[in-house]
Amino acid sequence: MTVWSIDARSGERRRGFPTTGAEEVELACRRADALLPRLEEAGPQGRAALLEAMADALDHRVDALVAAADAETALGVGRLTGEVARTSGQLRLFAEVLREGAFLDVRLDAADSVRPDLRRMNIPVGVVGVFSASNFPFAFSVGGGDTASALAAGCPVIVKAHSLHPETSELTLAALREGARTAGLPAEVVQLVHGREAGTALVTHPLVRAVGFTGSIPAGRLLYDLAKSRPEPIPFYGELGSLNPLIVTPGAAARRTEEIAAGLVASVTLGAGQFCVKPGLVLAPRGDALVEAMARHFAELGPQVLLGDGIRESFEAGAGEREALPGLRVAASGRTGGDREVTARLLTGHVSALAASELLLEECFGPMTVVLAYDDEEELLHALAATPGNLTATLHSEPEEEKLAARLMAVMRARAGRLVFDAYPTGVAVGWAQQHGGPYPATTEPSTTSVGTAAIFRFLRPVVYQNCPTHLLPEALRDDNPWRLPRRVNGELTLP
């Protein structure tokens, strides 16, 4: 079997890659498991050097990487060049996390007359399987956040390449492996498999101890169910789908009509609307001004090439189904293009349409959003409460609307992991405070994040040493703190 690299703009086959057979997956898992001690021996310092060497190798190869990704995804050279920088920056950030050491969460409780000596730290969970995302060929793919945080934790990684960018995946793999060699570690700390069956085999393999996934609800839930029905279930960190409601209060709609219209349309159509944090549902007060302003921006949009045929077909079907719903109308369309291009669309209606169809509460990937009008606060709160779990919820309000804002924030917080104020949800900064995850189906494990430094905790588990003789203690747990770690000593947080 062959996975074909397809030119997203022309639909032509560029190059084939053989799918990975069951025996090869088996071999990859054993090889990865055997490398677990190597990553651990490298220690936080050695793994920091590994991540930095990988980042350098990606940056050195940026032109070839971007060229392949642009052909395979049509996301454009500018955006993709930025994404490579974001990806290498992410690897370097996890190097900082390793050097700082709080990720080990060292806790020491001294013995007393009744208690034993207890020394606790985090250890890697084992081999990690990573599923690449279609829409981020770098930042959420072979060398992306899941891989960076798993390697940082000390876990060898096996990536399932996304079928829409197999060549980009192979080129990224080569860069990561060059980095590993530079750092004096085996190239196989990251491995790559192609094909759906190889992906399934990864999730069910006894040596795979955790999975990171970014993709659609149907594919994600299928793999989630596999992970949870194993004889020994494993954590499945899946980012599945998000509607990302954006609320415009009466005050904001009146005072910032044009500004919000322009910002919102830019956010909805960024990357041809193929962002997991695209605002797919806008709740705005009844009145024509905001929709009319948005419509003017939509009318100026050119036709857009999506990531692949399947995604284009899903968008056309999804947009069509929504347009046909009673009470909904197309307020504006972008310019129409060729067979392989889609037309951006703005749909409007009243919040009462939410009661008529579940469809409006589902994500529709692509350059489209739905603006629903509310008549009063209760309708607004009711509509917001009806949304499923989200990665983000956004509020545009004015200072004098504090009481309404507080009511809305309580619901937003219950429904999302990131609350955005007077801005737009697209653009997820990679940093120490970021949270990318929210109630299901946004993510399958809402208490974790897939972006930002806290992502490392997904691939660690704690172990405590009770009365361990000094000569057998891991360095990180020694009294003299040779690694200069932040630690909790007898309950008190201490800095080195």
Interactions with a copy of itself, residue window 443-462 (CB under 8 A): 444-447, 449, 453-454, 457-458, 460-462
Q: Rank residues 195 and 250 by Cβ distance to a copy of itself and give the closer one.
A: 250
479 binds a copy of itself (CB under 8 A): no
- Select which of 52, 167, 178, 276 is catalytic: 276
489 phi, psi to nearest 5 deg: -110, 120
C-alpha span between 443 and 227 (Å, rounded): 15
Measured from the CB of residue 13, what is the shortest distance to a copy of itself in angstroms? 38
429 binds a copy of itself (CB under 8 A): yes
Q: Binding segment for a copy of itself among 12-20, 224-232, 301-309, 324-332 (CB under 8 A)? A: 224-232
Q: Which of 455, 432, 461, 447 is nearest to 212 (CA)?
A: 455
Among 136, 140, 213, 224, binds a copy of itself (CB under 8 A): 224
Among 463, 475, 478, 479, binds a copy of itself (CB under 8 A): 463
Task: With beta carbons less than 8 A apart as the criterion, state whether 305 and 399 touch.
Answer: no
State yes or no: is 364 an active-site residue.
no
Give the sheet arrangement for strand 127-131, strand by strand. Answer: 190-193, 157-160, 127-131, 208-214, 236-239
Measured from the CB of residue 99, what is the shortest distance to a copy of itself in angstroms? 11
State yes or no: is 178 an active-site residue.
no
C-alpha span between 234 and 211 (Å, rounded): 8
Q: Rank residues 41 and 313 by Cβ distance to a copy of itself and give the closer one.
A: 41
Q: Binding segment for a copy of itself among 48-56, 168-176, 220-228, 379-387 (CB under 8 A)? A: 220-228
Among 261, 305, 331, 420, binds a copy of itself (CB under 8 A): 420
**How does DSSP classify residue 112?**
-
- Select which of 239, 363, 379, 401 is catalytic: 239
For residue 255, the surrounding DSSP H or E stretch is helix 250-255
439 binds a copy of itself (CB under 8 A): yes
Among 11, 18, 116, 218, binds a copy of itself (CB under 8 A): 116
Task: With beta carbons less than 8 A apart as the criterion, state whether 85 and 188 touch.
Answer: no
Please, which of residues 397-416 interact with a copy of itself by CB under 8 A? 399, 402, 405-406, 409-410, 413-414, 416
Q: Rank residues 413 and 478 by Cβ distance to a copy of itself and give the closer one.
A: 413
416 phi, psi to nearest 5 deg: -150, 165
Q: Rank residues 8 and 130 by Cβ distance to a copy of itself and give the closer one.
A: 130
Q: Binding segment for a copy of itself among 20-28, 94-102, 128-136, 333-341 (CB under 8 A)? A: 94-102
488 binds a copy of itself (CB under 8 A): yes
110 phi, psi to nearest 5 deg: -70, 155
Q: Rank residues 324 and 463 by Cβ distance to a copy of itself and give the closer one.
A: 463
362 binds a copy of itself (CB under 8 A): no
C-alpha span between 451 and 160 (Å, rounded): 19
Measured from the CB of residue 288, what is the shortest distance to a copy of itself in angstroms? 28
Residues in the chain: 496
Measured from the CB of residue 385, what is the shortest distance to a copy of itself in angstroms? 12
Q: Which two tokens stand for residue 374?
A: 């509310």
C-alpha span between 333 and 348 (Å, rounded): 12
Measured from the CB of residue 234, what is the shortest distance to a copy of itself in angstroms? 8
Q: Which residues of 188-219 are buried (b: 16+ CB within 10 A; e: fewer)?
A: bbbbbbbbeebbbbbbbbebbbbbbbbbbbee
C-alpha span between 154 and 141 (Å, rounded): 18
Residue type, 124: P
C-alpha span between 75 and 79 (Å, rounded): 7
Q: Rank residues 236 and 298 by Cβ distance to a copy of itself and give the closer one.
A: 236
Q: Which residues are tagged catalytic?
A: 239, 276
